[in-house]
Amino acid sequence: MEKTSVKTRRAAAPEGSLTEKIGFREKFFYGGGDLASNLVLVLTSTFATFFYTDALGLNASIIGMILLVSRLLDGVSDILMGYIMDKTRSRHGKARPWMLWLAIPIAISTVLVFVVPNMGDVGKYIYIAITYNLVTTILYTAINIPYGALTARLSRDQNQRMIINVFRMFMAQIGSLAINALTLPFVKAMGGAAGTSSQSAWVIVSCVYGVLAALLFLLCFYNTKERVDVPSENIGFLKSLKLCLKNDQWLLLVAVWVVLVLGLATSMSVGTYYAKYVLGDESYFGFLSAAGILVALVVMPVMTVFIKKYGKRNVALLGAVISLVGQAMALIDPASFNWLMLCSVIKGVGSATAMGTMFAMIADTIEYGQWKTGIRVEGMLYSTTTFGAKVGAGVGGAVAMAALGAAGYNGLLAVQNESAMQAIKTIYLIVPLPFLALMPLIYLLYKLDKIYPKVMADLSAGRTMGS
């Protein structure tokens, strides 16, 4: 009886309105936080490897191992940061203050990634390992985990969360579009060229991106409000982790994200190389990425209509099938830039549904977890989700770079050997297929959309699953 009363009291505590409307300004600036995140993340993940191998001439396999270790550490730091966020107490809330505290440090660390001193290859690898982990494992994690968890603290209304998530992903896609399409032309405009002479250009570009990211994080902090403040017990780290593992609907979303990231990270890691050596111009990779992102920008705003009618799970499932079809179509004419642009458009429709629903679904699992266990863990649920994604990204990227290194890839050569060329083609075209095929199967097991109204009705009435 005592256990039930604790659950009931916790569920009935003031937790924020279930129907409170969030204004356009707040949604817009919240979305700007993900644009800021992508300015840092895409630059330091997608393009940093190309910078290390083709601008500095470093070994692809060693860079791949550094990235793998970094991603594994990053996954662990995600879980720790989620726990720290749950324990955070400040006048600004749990999540928002981290954007205020870390906006400037993350901008500086982004620049440091590209300021690799001329200290010999061993010294360069050590410097890269330190600075890359500083920006990704420590600072990006410490600012992005609270930012993501903030969705669940802005509102408890499912429709509002869906709209908030669309704003977030819309702005994130704008960031990805700008970086993927403009970074290499920007580097060239700043005096970059093949070889080590381009390093100063990369530093200039990273300075611009870093300043913009810091400004957007600060605007996000000043223009958002944490309305949902659910009293929680002072529970330990292991108990928090166990509560996450009891959340079966959350585990399914983790699985979706892991398989998606594994396939895409492996392919995207060699995207610039594929464009350079197969299509004839590394800048083409930016256009291929931009094509998918532009479609996603169009699809996301209208997606909410279909989500209200058919549910987030069903829309995401259809999108997963569309992504698989788009990737498979690339095999028909893989050396044609125009054909790959069409495939990117199709994949963009699919990715819009996955990204446009993922974080809103994760926010829903926070409510589901509270309903199922009687205890609310926001930071840990969000952070352990990204743990799986980051480990998947690390493994995918490291495998891709290791495969290139084993195949004899040399970034200083104008023409690669046949083995390296085959590795680039296989990783870019074929590797994502089995991962994309798994996603619809996992979505079929997800049931939270159907029971969410009951979950929220019970929580509003002070009931939990065990009460």
444: buried, middle or exposed (CB in 10 Å: 19+, 13-18, 0-12)?
Answer: exposed
Q: Identify whether the C-beta of residue 405 lies closer than 8 Å to the C-beta of residue 277.
A: no
Condensed to tens digits (0 to 9), the pLDDT of residues 257-298 reads 888 888 888 888 888 889 989 998 888 887 888 888 888 888
The angle that helices 337-373 and 448-460 make with each other, rounded to 10 degrees, is: 40
450: buried, middle or exposed (CB in 10 Å: 19+, 13-18, 0-12)?
Answer: exposed
- Is it the case that residue 433 has pLDDT exceeding 70? yes
101, two tokens: 């505290």
CATH of 22-225+236-460 given 1.20.120.430, 2.30.110.10, 1.20.1250.20, 3.40.50.300: 1.20.1250.20
Distances (CA, A) of 62 to 31, 183, 228: 36, 24, 45
- Domain boundaries of the chain, sorted by first residue: 22-225+236-460
Mean pLDDT rounded to a whole number for the chain: 85
pLDDT bin (cut points 50, 70, 90) of residue 380 is confident
Condensed to tens digits (0 to 9), the pLDDT of residues 230-248 reads 665 667 888 888 888 899 9
**Cα(106)–Cα(44) distance, integer angstroms:** 12
